[in-house]
């Protein structure tokens, strides 16, 4: 999640655990601790792909943070000795651990069990920025700063409201999953890997991506749709023109192989399909180029500009959220360039044999 949300969560957790000792200093310390795990973004792993796949790694591990929290709490306690050690330990560890647990609710994924070789946890029920989750936490912290003698209670209420919204997001995700499973059953999409994720800033409108060997399908589903039929936009998935490299293997693992390949003007581009909308793609990487003889050669990975975000994008998303399915193709279509043939077409599952 974004830094504002993590700071608000950390402050609210600190306020709750501190009880009668809740104060502006405690809330500020909680906010600072709540953003601490994300300092791993300052580490340069050598290239943009490595930086991307290693984010939310060791600094988000449930095997690391409790020990780090214990050390920080002990140092804090030795310095001040105003609180019982158990309470300082509980506060610091709780703030640190809730950070990766919240991150795990997004589609990016979080390596909760680093260094074990297990997949990142990615529930994908929350967008990375969701005001409906964040605002109750911000309000509770703001009130706690003013109403100090009831600060812990107010923070607890804010956390309860935020938790209720988080639980509701999982419920909404399950409803969309059931809808997708029902509509793909008995079609060419049945059995193919798919992923469902919320669109920006809400848990009402969801984006679905289904991948095949040579193409992928993308659709939108709103909880407010009157017509429950999902209209799919199909795109060529492209192919990688070289032998798989360690960089590509890492990117495949990170994206769970929800990627597409494009040749653009002598450049080989790999895009993570889990992120972006329309032609705005924030996770696309240049991995190979053609030399003067026309041969493909790997290059130092470079993260490309995500593309223009049209002024109409957010209004269109809001329009689609309310159930206007006529704009699905406009929101899903991503322009193919270079050597790829644009075979975009809007299809209904009823048309799939």
Give per-residue pLDDT as tens, 175-197: 999 999 999 998 889 999 999 99
Instruction: Answer whether residue 222 shows pLDDT above 70.
Output: yes
- How many Å separate Cα 84 from the centre of its chain? 37
- Distance, CA of 273 to CA of 282 (rounded, Å): 10
pLDDT at site 58? 96
Instruction: Answer whether residue 341 shows pLDDT above 50.
Output: no
- Distance, CA of 327 to CA of 340 (rounded, Å): 24
Instruction: Answer whether residue 209 shows pLDDT above 80.
Output: yes
- Distance, CA of 330 to CA of 14 (rounded, Å): 44
pLDDT at site 141? 97
- Distance, CA of 139 to CA of 137 (rounded, Å): 5
- Distance, CA of 284 to CA of 260 (rounded, Å): 9
* pTM (global) more than 0.85: yes
- Distance, CA of 5 to CA of 24 (rounded, Å): 18
CA-based end-to-end distance of the chain: 40
pLDDT at site 180? 95
pLDDT at site 120? 95
46: its two tokens: 């050598």
| Percent of the chain's residues with pLDDT above 90 | 71
Residue with tokens 């792909």: 49
């Amino acid at each position: 999640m974004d830094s504002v949300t993590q700071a608000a969560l950390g402050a609210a957790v600190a306020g709750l655990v501190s009880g009668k000792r809740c104060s502006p200093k405690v809330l500020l310390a909680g906010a600072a601790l709540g953003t601490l795990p994300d300092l791993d973004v300052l580490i340069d792993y050598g290239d943009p792909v490595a930086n991307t796949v290693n984010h939310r790694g060791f600094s988000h591990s449930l095997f690391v943070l409790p020990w780090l929290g214990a050390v920080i709490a002990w140092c804090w306690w030795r310095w001040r000795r105003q609180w019982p050690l158990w309470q300082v330990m509980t506060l610091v560890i709780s703030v640190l651990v809730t950070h990766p647990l919240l991150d795990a609710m997004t589609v990016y994924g979080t390596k909760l069990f680093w260094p074990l070789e297990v997949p990142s946890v990615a529930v994908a029920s929350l967008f990375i920025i969701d005001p409906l989750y964040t605002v109750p936490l911000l309000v509770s912290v703001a009130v706690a700063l003013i109403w100090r003698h009831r600060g812990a209670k107010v923070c607890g209420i804010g956390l309860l409201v935020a938790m209720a919204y988080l639980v509701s997001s999982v419920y909404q995700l399950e409803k969309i999953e059931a809808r997708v499973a029902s509509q793909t059953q008995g079609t060419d999409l049945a059995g193919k890997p798919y992923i469902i994720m919320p669109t920006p800033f809400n848990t009402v409108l969801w984006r679905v991506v289904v991948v095949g060997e040579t193409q992928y399908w993308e659709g939108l589903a709103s909880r407010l749709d009157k017509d429950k039929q999902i209209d799919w936009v199909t795109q060529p998935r492209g192919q990688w023109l070289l032998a798989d490299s360690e960089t590509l293997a890492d990117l495949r693992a990170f994206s769970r192989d929800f990627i597409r390949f494009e040749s653009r003007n002598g450049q080989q581009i790999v895009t993570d399909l889990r992120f972006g909308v329309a032609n705005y793609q924030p996770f696309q990487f240049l991995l190979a180029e053609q030399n003067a003889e026309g041969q493909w050669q790997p290059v130092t990975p470079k993260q490309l500009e995500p593309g223009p975000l049209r002024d109409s994008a957010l209004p269109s998303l809001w329009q689609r959220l309310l159930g206007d399915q006529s704009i699905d193709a406009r929101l899903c279509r991503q322009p193919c360039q270079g050597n790829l043939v644009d075979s975009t077409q809007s299809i209904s599952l009823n048309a799939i044999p």
